[in-house]
Chains A and B, each alone.
Chain A
């Protein structure tokens, strides 16, 4: 008997010890392969999840689950009175990751910060084109316009000098392209003649250290023991690349994945009913819209556009196209943006009023084209179906709409033309948290003939967003954007249709995951209970 007791005790002890020593692993079944691991040249969210959000840090970061910012690798920053100089004071004692291919000899300093940005802007840098055809799209389209130079003040201070005041530039520092890379690692690769490794084997200061990537299959990371913000509760982070949404769901149910992104909308109810799972949902940082061409009659009249907006039954669209994984959009700005005006009033669905208003505006027997995108996007999972519903809504108020569609590249190019016929279905996912990324980029006068598919240049609106762009304090910018949204609603260059709802199903024992409003997925603070 005693022997049995001893054996049992020994077994129990060894089990406890094994449990204590057991490394915890989190498996995230990602939706696709990253284009590369250098955080700057790419534009896909899938790539950012695997590179910048795991391996790297930025000077300024988004607060977890928010579009507001907090200090990252910069402890603090000052903006000069005239708004043309931003000085960053770097966080001391930050270490780059030690891997089996790189051992840092010094801590992160101003040289790394200057290098991270200069390689994207200085054509003479040997890193400007270190792989054939490499291009710095995000840097060129955001920071490049107003950045004059980057100055190393001392080892821990860096100054960004702008050619003109630009409040939106601060919102670009938490973007992925602005991740801080190691100059020492770059120098080492350059000396060895293996610069292309920079995009294959990343080294950053971030929460997870890159271990291995098996092409199109698995990416492995380990918690960075030296992370300045503390080691992560999970030891190993694995991205199991699983392209098909149906298969991702099966793997989650079978316990092969802990977290999955982008489930099929039709499966969400079933996932919610499964007691082994939990499902998080949040409005996505995007907008799906229908843009009239405000340069072409009769869409040049705001009353016509408003009348057509009243004819659209958004509820039916959200039920049929988004399978309820969307919310009706009132403003072009998603509700998770700090500048979203919660008091904005939406057009009421009222076909009778729409018909009467069209007649009052002298529009009868109108025939128009309705453009439907050929691709699926979170902000519009089925543009063809959406177009059909709008077509039938328009038909009910006496407007004949012909649905047109074409190859995606053609669609993007031809829908930008100023003389384009009819209204276009399209959408946008925010690049950064700045409201200008929606209200300026998509509706500003500069974007007419390009991203402004409504070809809408309305001076009172333009004045507001330009003033907001030059104003640094967020509290002062907010009322300007609220007013701009009112003007937008009154002028109705678009029918704002929907913001998608991002759904993240995960195993019930996952804790600490927070959905990010800008749609990135990060695993800081995530752990698993046994």
Chain B
């Protein structure tokens, strides 16, 4: 097990080098000069342009800029945002808990509902339940997030008034931030009303963000279950006279979960993509919107640092999934 983890950790080194290079090169391949973009219609004199380019280090040769960037990283310096003049790391940390809270809620919702729906569809294969579940999953998978979110807002927030339109918590709720997670901080502050408000604010964005992963997980669970249900050992279990419940939960599901766990792990990157739109619509103060704005401003250091930090999160999740995989499937445990 230790060796397995060590091997995995070693792989991170080349991945990181790859990501720094890709982030560094791609943002520079985009046309557009950050200084001119910053000045906008106002314009900037050639002299001032040169001065600012030098201040940001853009007058250096590319290889030198890259070396400076990487050596900064090794010293824990992710650089500064040109637009806010604040360190990239602190900008990221200020926004990341919001994305994480929303992402965790979405992945939990997608996994619980998705696996349940997948099992139900598999054991009732061909029935109306199967058809409705899989039909809904297909619709969910094809849903344009932007449209879907506005539809939910118009129905549940504006027409019915059940949920707030956007934001993380009611504006009347104000308490110190400790962990950055509203659900936890509201409880730490001893404010149950604030906790309830945070839950209400989470409902719509969680549904929107969970929609696509839910559909994928449901379909994956169904097909994995169907495959497992046709295996010889299931027939054996049934012929031993085990109850259907025991056959499904103990014998079928445990084996069917192996590909499903991988799918859930892969959905993390889908979630980050979805978070960009969801956060924009629901005014959710996370990293998705921040990254998009930085790309359009050509805020090189934010894009580089932000990508690297997001990649670190994705790698961490993948490592966790690999470890979980070992727990679920003893065959890969000690390889």
Is the beta-carbon distance between A131 and B157 smaller than 8 angstroms?
Answer: no
**CB of A506 closer than 8 Å to a CB of B:** no
The answer, yes or no, to whether A427 is at the interface (CB within 8 Å) is yes
CB within 8 Å of B: which of A215-266?
Answer: 215-218, 220, 238, 240-244, 246-247, 250-251, 253-254, 256
Asked whether A250 and B43 contact (CB < 8 A) given A35-B84, A212-B174, A240-B283, the answer is no
- Give CA–CA (A247, B283) in the complex, Å: 8
Residues of B within 8 A of A242 (CB): 166-167, 283
Interface residues of B in 140-178 (CB under 8 A from A): 150, 153-154, 157-158, 161, 164-168, 171-172, 174, 177
Given the complex of chains A and B, what is the CA–CA distance between A451 and B36 in angstroms?
Answer: 13
Using a CB-CB cutoff of 8 Å, which residues 114-158 of chain B contact chain A? Answer: 150, 153-154, 157-158
Q: How many angstroms from the CA of A334 to the CA of B101 in the assembled complex? A: 47
Bound together, the chains give a CA A377 to CA B40 distance in angstroms of 11
Q: Check if A43 is an interface residue, CB within 8 A of chain B.
A: yes
Task: Report the bound CA distance from A377 to B42 in whole Å.
Answer: 14
Q: Count residues of A near B (Cβ-Cβ below 8 Å).
A: 52
Q: Cβ of A208 < 8 Å from any Cβ of B? A: no
Residues of A contacting B48 in the complex (Cβ-Cβ under 8 angstroms): 140
Q: Which residue of B lies closest to A379 (CB)?
A: B41
Contacting pair A451 B165 (CB below 8 A): no
Residues A135 and B52 in contact, CB atoms below 8 Å apart: yes
Q: Select one of B32, B98, B157 contacting A250, CB under 8 A.
A: B157
Given contacts A215-B95, A216-B289, contact A254 B85 (CB under 8 A): no
Given A140-B48, A238-B171, A246-B150, the answer on whether A216 and B285 have CB atoms closer than 8 Å is yes
Interchain CB contact (< 8 A) of A254 among B42, B84, B157, B281: B157
Query: Are B85 and A132 in touch, CB under 8 angstroms?
Result: yes
A196 at the interface (CB under 8 A from B): yes
Given that A242-B166, A247-B166, A250-B158 are known contacts, is A27 also in contact with B43, CB under 8 Å in the complex?
A: no
Which A residues touch B158, using CB under 8 A?
Answer: 250, 253-254
Q: With an 8 A cutoff between CB atoms, is A133 at the interface?
A: yes
- Across the interface, A413 reaches (CB within 8 A) one of B33, B164, B281, namely B33
CB neighbours (8 Å) of B45 from chain A are 450
Answer whether residue B219 sits at the interface, using C-beta atoms and an 8 A cutoff: no
Asked whether A461 is an interface residue with its Cβ less than 8 Å from the other chain, the reply is no
Q: Determine if B37 and A133 form an interchain contact, defined as CB atoms under 8 angstroms apart.
A: no
Q: Assuming the A-B contacts A217-B168, A244-B281, A410-B31, are A141 and B42 also in contact, with contact meaning beta carbons closer than 8 angstroms in the complex? A: yes
A79 in the interface, Cβ–Cβ < 8 Å? no
| Cβ contact within 8 Å between A27 and B171 | yes
A134 part of interface (Cβ distance < 8 Å)? yes
Residues B298 and A409 in contact, CB atoms below 8 Å apart: yes
CB < 8 Å neighbour of B166 from A43, A238, A251, A429: A251
Given contacts A250-B158, A416-B43, contact A216 B85 (CB under 8 A): no
A413 surroundings in chain B (CB, below 8 A) = 33, 36
The answer to whether A247 and B281 touch (CB under 8 A), given A408-B32, A408-B37, A413-B33, is yes
Q: Per-position contact with B for A397-433: 1 when CB-CB < 8 Å, else 0?
A: 0000000001111101100100000000011110100
**CA A241 to CA B171, docked complex, whole Å:** 11
Q: What is the CA–CA distance of A453 and B39 in the complex, to the nearest angstrom?
A: 16
CB within 8 Å of B: which A420-458 residues: 426-429, 431, 450-451
Q: From B150, which residue of chain A is reached at the shortest CB distance?
A: A246
Interchain nearest-CB distance for A368 vs B (Å): 23
Q: Are A196 and B86 closer than 8 Å at their CB atoms?
A: yes
Q: From residue A117, how far is it (CB to closest CB) to chain B in Å?
A: 19
* Whole-angstrom CA separation of A165 from B165 in the bound complex: 54
Among B33, B84, B290, point to the contact of A409 (Cβ < 8 A): B33
- Residues of chain A with a CB closer than 8 A to B290's CB: 216
Q: Which of B41, B165, B285 contacts A217 (CB 8 A)?
A: B285
Contact present for B174 and A220 (CB under 8 Å): yes
Contact B280 A451 (CB under 8 A): no
Whether, in the assembled complex, B80 has its beta carbon less than 8 Å from a beta carbon of chain A, the answer is: yes
CB closest residue in chain B, given A135 = B52
Residue A214, interface by CB 8 Å: yes
| A247 to B41 Cα, complex, angstroms | 28
B78 contacts A by Cβ under 8 Å = no
Cα-based distance from A466 to B298 in the complex (angstroms): 37
Q: Does B282 contact A (CB under 8 A)?
A: yes
Instruction: Report the nearest B residue to A242, measured CB to CB.
Output: B283
Q: Does B82 contact A (CB under 8 A)?
A: yes
Whether A36 is near chain B, meaning CB under 8 Å from some CB there, is: yes
Q: Determine whether A199 belongs to the interface, using a CB cutoff of 8 Å to chain B.
A: yes
Partner of A241, one of B43, B83, B94, B283: B283
Contact of B43 among A238, A429, A450 (CB under 8 A): A450
Find chain B residues with CB under 8 A from A246 CB.
Answer: 150, 281
B55 at interface (Cβ–Cβ under 8 A)? yes
| Chain A contacts with B in 303-346, Cβ cutoff 8 A | none
A41 CB-CB contact with B under 8 Å: yes
Known: A242-B283, A254-B157. A35 touches B83 (CB 8 A): yes
Q: B56 at the A/B interface (Cβ < 8 Å)?
A: yes
Q: Which residues of A contact B285 (CB under 8 A)?
A: 214-217, 241
Residue numbers in B under 8 Å from A427 (CB-CB): 41
With A133-B80, A217-B167, A410-B31 already in contact, the answer to whether A243 and B283 are too (CB < 8 A) is yes
Measured CB to CB, the nearest residue on chain A to B170 is A256
Please tell me if the beta carbons of A409 and B55 are within 8 angstroms of each other in the complex.
Answer: no
Give the complex CA separation of A46 and B85 in angstroms.
17
Q: Show 8 A/B contacts (Cβ-Cβ < 8 Å), sorted by A.
A: A133-B80, A215-B91, A242-B166, A246-B281, A247-B153, A256-B167, A413-B36, A429-B41
Query: Ordered nearest first, which 8 A-B pairs have the shortest CB separation?
Result: A216-B285, A409-B32, A131-B85, A217-B285, A215-B94, A251-B165, A407-B31, A242-B283
Extra contacts besides A217-B283, A250-B154, A254-B158 (7): CB < 8 Å: A25-B172, A133-B52, A133-B80, A140-B48, A408-B32, A409-B31, A412-B39
